[in-house]
Amino acid sequence: MDSVTPQLPPDTQPLAHQVAGHFYGRSKTKFGLLQRCSTGDVLKPLLNPPRGPREHQFYLDMFSDEISNELRALRPFLPKLLGTYQFDSMTYLVLENIVRSYEYPCVIDIKLGRVTYDCEATPEKIERQIGKFQPATEIGFQLLGWKTYRRLDNMYIYHDKRCARSLNKEELLYGFAHFFGAPENNHRPFVRAVLERAVALERTMSQQFEFVFIASSILIVYDSVHRENSDDVKVDTRKFEYTVDYNLEEQQKKPQAACELLRYDLKMCLLASDCCKLGHTPKECISNDKLREFVPDECRRLAYTFFECKRSTIDMRARFRGRKGEIY
C-alpha cells in the first residue's frame, strides 16, 4: 500500500527545477526536496537511516571551524548548510539554493562512481544497482536527468532518469550536447567554464583523504539567458548528495584500520570487474588463477597491497617500521 503524501511544511513548495532524487509526492516515501517560498532555501528530508544522519553529520563536519585545510577547500563546491528544520516528525537539512539567482537555470544531475553501493549492501541490492545502468561500471558515471530552457520555444525540456538510462555509453555524449543547447545554440563558453570548475573540484578531491564518497552526485547549472560572444557566463558545479562510508580519521584509530580500508577498496574494485559480472565471488576472482585474466590490473595492485598490509600486522618489526599501506 502506498504511503500517504505528507503535509507540506508552512511556507514551502516542491523544489523548482529539480531533475532527479526524491520528488515530493512521487517517491516511495512521498517525501522529497522542498523549497521555502519566502527565501528559496532548499529543504532536504533526512531519509533512510543511517544514510540521512550520516549526511547530516558530514555537513556539520564540513562547515565546522575545526576541519582541515584540505576539507575547507571543498566548501565552495557544496551548497551551504543553513541549519535544520523539524516538521511533523521529519527533520530537514536546510541548504543553499544554488539556482535561485538564475533567470532560466538549466540543470543536470550526474551520479559519480563505478560503484554506487556501500560495503553493507546485500547481493540483491548490488545486482539491482548495477542493473540500473550497466555502462557506469566502465565509464564511472551516469546521468540521472536534465532540463534545458529553449529560448525559441520559451519552454523547458525535461529528460528523466528513464531517458538517461536508456542511453548507451556512446550516446551519453549526445545527452551532454543536448543539455548544453545543441544543436540550436553555441554554448561553448558554458562548457569551458564547467570544465574549469570540474578540474578544480577534481584537484581538491584528490588532496583530501578524510572521507570516502560513494554514490555522490554532482549538479551542473548554467543560466540560458547568456548571449553568444558575451562574457556574461554564469555556471555552477556542486556536489550535493553523499553516502559517506568512512571518516578516515576515526577509522585509523582502530586496529588494522588501514588494512580494512584497503579491503573495502579491493572488494569494490572486484565487484565492478568482469570476473564478478560473470557470477564469481570477489574471493574466487582473486584466488583462482584461471579467473585472474578477468581481473583488471588496478584490482591486482590493490590485492597485493592489501595482503602485504595484513602480513605486516603480524610482523613484530612493523611496530618500528609502521604497517604497510598505512598512507594509502
- CATH number for the domain including 120? 3.30.470.160
pTM: 0.73
In a domain, 7, yes or no: no
5 occurs within a structural domain: no
In a shared domain, residues 131 and 190: yes
pLDDT per position as a tens digit, 150-179: 888 889 999 999 998 898 888 898 889 989
In terms of domains, do 232 and 125 share one? yes
Query: For residue range 172-223, what is the model confidence (pLDDT) as tens digits?
Result: 988 899 898 887 777 788 888 899 999 999 888 888 777 777 778 899 999 9
Q: Give the chain's domain count.
A: 3
Comparing CA positions, the residue from 239, 217, 224 lying closest to residue 161 is: 217
240 shares a domain with 115: yes
Which of the two residues, 125 and 33, has the higher pLDDT score? 33
- The pLDDT of residue 313 is 53
Burial letters for 54-80: b for 16+ Cβ neighbours within 10 Å, e otherwise? bbbebbebbeeeebeeebebbeebbbe
Closest of 62, 79, 80 to residue 71, by C-alpha: 62
Note whether 24 and 91 are same-domain residues: yes
Same domain assignment for residues 196 and 165? yes
Q: What is the band of 248 on the pLDDT scale with cuts at 50, 70, 90?
A: very low
Q: Determine the structural domain holding residue 61 and report its residue range.
A: 12-95
- Which of residues 4 and 313 earns the better pLDDT score? 4
Residue 154 lies in a domain: yes
- Report CA-CA distances (Å) from 197 to 80, 191, 215, 221, 282: 17, 10, 20, 12, 36
Q: Indicate if the pLDDT at residue 243 is higher than 60.
A: no
- State the Cα–Cα distance between residues 223 and 148, nearest whole angstrom: 10
